[in-house]
Amino acid sequence: MIRRNPNGDIPQVHETAFVDPTAILCGKIVVEANVFIGPYAVIRADEVDDDGDMEPIVIGADSNIQDGVVIHCKAGGGVNIGRGTSIAHRSIVHGPCTVGDHVFVGFNSVLFNCVVGSHSVIRHNSVVEGCEVPQRFYIPSTANIRSNADLAGIERVTADVSDFSESVAQANHELVKGYKRIRNEF
């Protein structure tokens, strides 16, 4: 469902993107080319700052927002998801937040008030809040990263982890093509 927010902003969805009919997109959102937005995802840009303004939620080209993901912004803060990025099932990305290009965010993870550098991997059930994750970092499952100091023991991403992330992005890119092809069959 595509709908306006109280300010009258309506999502802009590129014609090559696929948004599942059960997903909800509300407000100042930009969905770029070849993006996959899965079932029951909720992407909502509707809160304003003290001046009545808000930053958009931007989903970069070739990214995938999987089943049950929630993306929202606090007090007008924006969310920027880079190109070729995968946000896995039931994750929450709460702005203000910037996620770089070719990032993998695992199942049930939470990102809030943070920056995640390109080519990083955040595994399942992790929390990243109030810090800046440099490029090519690997955050293991169930990690709780709440400051830049918590990043001191974090490894760089290895080739096998990057390969997995790329395979997820490619699989979802193929889903965009497949669902666009059969969209009139529902």
Residues above pLDDT 90, as percent of the chain: 68
What is the C-alpha end-to-end distance of the chain, expressed in Å? Answer: 15
- On average, the pLDDT of the chain sits at 89
CA 103/CA 139 separation, integer angstroms: 11
DSSP line for 88-143: -TT-EEEEEEEE-TT-EE-TT-EEEEEEE-TT-EE-TT-EEESSEEPTTEEE-TT-
Residue 173 has pLDDT above 70, yes or no: no
Q: What CATH number does domain 2-185 carry, 3.90.1150.10, 3.40.50.150, 2.60.40.420, 2.160.10.10?
A: 2.160.10.10
Tell me, what's the pLDDT at 174? 73
Cβ contact 136:151 at 8 Å: no
Amino acid at the residue 112: F
CA 150/CA 45 separation, integer angstroms: 30
What are the residue numbers of the active site?
Answer: 47
Q: Over the range 46-81, which residues count as b (16 or more CB within 10 Å of their CB) and which as e?
A: bbbeeeeebbbbbbbbbbbbbbbbbbbbeebbbbbb
Q: What is the pLDDT of residues 67-88, one digit of tens each?
A: 999 999 888 899 999 999 999 9
Q: What is the pTM for the complete model shown?
A: 0.87
Residue 56 has pLDDT above 70, yes or no: yes
Cβ contact 43:97 at 8 Å: no
Kindly list the domain boundaries of the chain, sorted by start residue: 2-185
Nearest to 87 by CA among 112, 134, 113, 124: 124
Residue 62 has pLDDT above 80, yes or no: yes
Cβ contact 78:58 at 8 Å: yes
* Average pLDDT value for residue range 51-72: 96
Burial class (CB in 10 A: 0-12, 13-18, 19+), 15: exposed
